[in-house]
Amino acid sequence: MDRMIYLSMSGAKATMQRQDVLANNLANASTVGFRAELHAFRSVPVEGSGASTRVYALESTPGYSDAPGVVSNTGRPMDVAMRGNAWLAVQGLDGTEAYTRGGSLETSADGTVVTHGGLTVLGDGGPIQVPANSEVSIAADGTVSARGANGRSATVGRLKLVTPEAPLERGADGLFRAPDGDLPADATARLQDGALEGSNVSPVETMVAMISAARQFEAQMRMLQTAENNEKSAAQLLSMS
């Protein structure tokens, strides 16, 4: 009896966690540069006396999908889409270096190049400062140039682009970091200016997966009810004997 309860209970809990992952992916289907979070089930034996034959089903997140998103031309000079496996280095709110594929950039009030969310974009030598009233352009290698009112263009920095050899780790802030510390700048990394990479989440596939998870959860809850009814029936038979 308890085997059925363990199977259905742990399965229902894992399915709920899977629905959370799918819901988060679907909510970010239109987020620039978003990487879909992967999900998988794994079996974990229950420890303890008399429980060696019991196994929990747990939801795990092995990482993210590295499939490229659709690149759309925007015509905006400070929009950039990283090519290949290149990532843009930014400074997280905790002060650490992090990486993103979201390339919607702008300048803050003091001329610092920041992301659309206000995070400082890092250059090869730190934050990049743009003179006031300048037109900014970004080359394919990440070089940032500013053209002043006099029509002269000057290089003010170069975006730090990295190409990780191993998968990055997603943090609670949605940014990615290397497990072994900051990555060096990759001089061969390239980007496309005037364009943005969209999310790599497929809304249709995610919706189908959410429907499947909902039906699976309903089946597991019915199994719990069946186990409860069986236990009541067994108790009644014992009381009558």
Structure confidence at residue 53 (pLDDT): 59
Structure confidence at residue 55 (pLDDT): 65
Structure confidence at residue 200 (pLDDT): 95
Structure confidence at residue 195 (pLDDT): 96
What residue ranges of the chain have pLDDT lower than 50?
A: 1
Structure confidence at residue 47 (pLDDT): 66
Structure confidence at residue 222 (pLDDT): 86
Structure confidence at residue 209 (pLDDT): 92
| pLDDT tens readout for residues 196-205 | 999 999 999 9
DSSP E strands: which ranges in the chain? Answer: 40-45, 55-60, 71-73, 80-82, 87-91, 97-100, 105-107, 113-115, 120-123, 126-127, 135-138, 143-147, 153-158, 161-162, 169-170, 176-177, 191-193, 195-197
Q: Three-class SS of residue 31?
A: coil
DSSP per-residue codes, 54-90: -EEEEEE---B--PPPPEEE---TTBEEE-TT-EEEE
User: Residues 221, 228: contact at Cβ < 8 Å?
Assistant: no
Structure confidence at residue 131 (pLDDT): 92
User: Residues 195, 80: contact at Cβ < 8 Å?
Assistant: yes
Write down the residue that tokens 């990615």 correspond to: 176
